[in-house]
Structure 1
């Protein structure tokens, strides 16, 4: 099968999925028009929208299936989706969160959520309404994103985040360490809840011995090296689910604090070892891990096993190929 992925790279996922698709004998191209300091490279063709538009006729003729990401496509007003459908080829849209997180709906089950990165509700609705005229099925990463899009499509699939575990050797926390290292890496401090996390950390300095480092504006390859040194990872305490940073850190054998909405938490496997912390209780969650080195080690071991079972690239790609096989 010849599969097109585009046009916005989110958390390295287009490249990771395409790498896995290639390993299973497919031709897969990941065309990225969103370039950031995170510096994802693997299996990506970094380009721009104008170049894609110039070559779209060739792209349309060459690929069998079009897997778009983040509420985007190549042509204005999603005209390419109409052409893909007219050509009798398959297409699916992959939504990631901020592209479809309706502001009022997000607040219904989450008093902490930050939606400043999402477009206005009317823009989200307009895009979803146009896309769903030509694309009948979609993909989301979890049950936090699902409610925003499920009414627009005939079917929405849950596909977990994917990770290439060959790049992540576990480095479990040292239970004898006198000054544990806490790391927090906010790509967007408002979205991640950095102000709440750092307030908790400053208050804990008066009673506990530890080191803290905030990581910003570094490539993904650079920060992964730093994650290996950590004993505790505090990821995001506002969104209501976990993202790639949590997955990467679990793969490295680290205990992770992230807020998962209670209704969403029920939909994940009970084996998920994330410490559920929100702005109101993140201090207590960090304190618990600081005072329990055995818990840090145990959570790290469990996290690695969970990622191997749920997020390992070949596991996710097998699910993706199953989704592809049933598309109209």
Structure 2
């Protein structure tokens, strides 16, 4: 089957991970992105569209106001159960600006559609739930041709921006990798983050090490609770010998190199659950502390995370520092758990089964 993934960027390498998994299963899978992810993940086809990066979108929101009326947060307090956020233009001027942007894109997109034989694919998946056009023109054209269409939400795309209704309403299936999204819409199909554990070299915990390195890698400080985490680590440093490793503003390759040197990793302290950062740490054999989404413990009773929030992080870190045996056990369990639940090929099989996509003849 010919599958095309469409995404604003290769966010956290999730779209490209799905593409590689589909290729390994015998499908002809491609990814087209609007712009490059600044962390340097692999690209397939990048259109380099102007006026579309996350920095540009943030500037529009600051000038015109946030159309969704929501801010990035690490707490479910910002979530209204049962209320599916929906994107609306922030105002007349912002809407005119977006339409002007789309007119500027149109010649490049038309060339791309023609040269790439865009309409010859069998399944189109919008990773991040964003069409090239806010009126859903691409999705409408896909469905008019009788093709399958799916949407995958990966985080703040749904929480803070909301659905793009003309795209969302035409999808044959809606997927999410975030459990808290089910509070917004219980009909979403939850799948764990697709992950390629084999790309990461596992190392057992070093039980003889005296000064432990504790890592934290915020992509968004507010969402991760970074300032609180750093304050707590300063308290820990007053009573234990530690080195804080802040992994920030690095390429993905550099971030992994830094993460591999850590003995303990802190993902975040909110209640929206873990992300790719945490999976990378587990795959490397680094015991990982994180906040978890409600219901996660019941769904994954064998998980290896040290569950924390702002009130419990200090004691959890002290216990990990003081118990080499605990670190060793979590190092092994973490790798095994990621292999069991996050294998990208199994995630793809689940998504395709939901869509009625037949397995490829490999």
Fold match (TM-score > 0.5): yes
Work out the CA distance in 1 between the residues paired with 2:298 and 2:131: 30
When residues 286 and 184 of structure 1 are mapped into structure 2, their CA distance, relative to the original with a 3 A threshold, is: same
Which of 185, 188, 191 in structure 1 is aligned with 2:223? 191
TM-score by length of 1: 0.86
Which of 126, 139, 148 in structure 1 is aligned with 2:175? 139
1:243 maps to 2:275: yes
1:98 maps to 2:156: yes
Aligned to 1:82: 140
Cα distance, 1:55 vs. partner?
2.5
In structure 1, list runs of 5 or more residues that go unmatched.
102-117
Aligned to 2:112: 55
Work out the CA distance in 1 between the residues paired with 2:307 and 2:183: 21
Cα distance, 1:304 vs. partner?
0.3
Aligned to 1:14: 15
User: Could you say which structure has the larger radius of gyration?
Assistant: 2
Work out the CA distance in 2 between the residues paired with 1:132 and 1:225: 38
- Give the match's secondary structure for 2:215: strand
- Give the match's secondary structure for 1:280: coil
Work out the CA distance in 2 between the residues paired with 1:53 and 1:230: 47
TM-score by length of 2: 0.78
Which of 284, 289, 311 in structure 2 is aligned with 1:280? 311
8 Å contact kept, 2:130–2:167: no
Q: Following superposition of structure 1 onto structure 2, how do residues 112-261 of structure 1 map, counting pairs within 5 Å?
A: 118-119=160-161, 124=162, 127=164, 129-150=165-186, 155-261=187-293
- Give the match's secondary structure for 1:289: helix
Cα distance, 1:326 vs. partner?
5.7
Work out the CA distance in 2 between the residues paired with 1:308 and 1:185: 22
Work out the CA distance in 1 between the residues paired with 2:30 and 2:298: 32
1:70 maps to 2:128: yes
Comparing 269-278 with 29-38, greater Cα deviation is found at 29-38
Cα distance, 1:213 vs. partner?
1.1
Cα distance, 1:172 vs. partner?
1.9
Cα distance, 1:285 vs. partner?
1.5
Aligned to 2:87: none
Work out the CA distance in 2 between the residues paired with 1:142 and 1:37: 23
Aligned to 1:5: 5
8 Å contact kept, 2:205–2:327: yes
- Give the match's secondary structure for 2:299: coil
Aligned to 1:271: 302
Cα distance, 1:190 vs. partner?
0.8
Which whole-Å deviations, capped at 9, do the CAs of 1:156-188 have from their partners, x for residues lacking one?
211211122221110122011111110111111
1:28 maps to 2:29: yes
Aligned to 1:109: none
1:325 maps to 2:356: yes
When residues 267 and 52 of structure 1 are mapped into structure 2, their CA distance, relative to the original with a 3 A threshold, is: farther
Cα distance, 1:276 vs. partner?
0.7
Query: RMSD across aligned C-alpha pairs, in angstroms?
Result: 1.9
Cα distance, 1:53 vs. partner?
4.7
Which whole-Å deviations, capped at 9, do the CAs of 1:203-230 have from their partners, x for residues lacking one?
1111111111101111111111121111
- Give the match's secondary structure for 1:237: coil
Work out the CA distance in 2 between the residues paired with 1:187 and 1:212: 17
Work out the CA distance in 2 between the residues paired with 1:44 and 1:81: 21
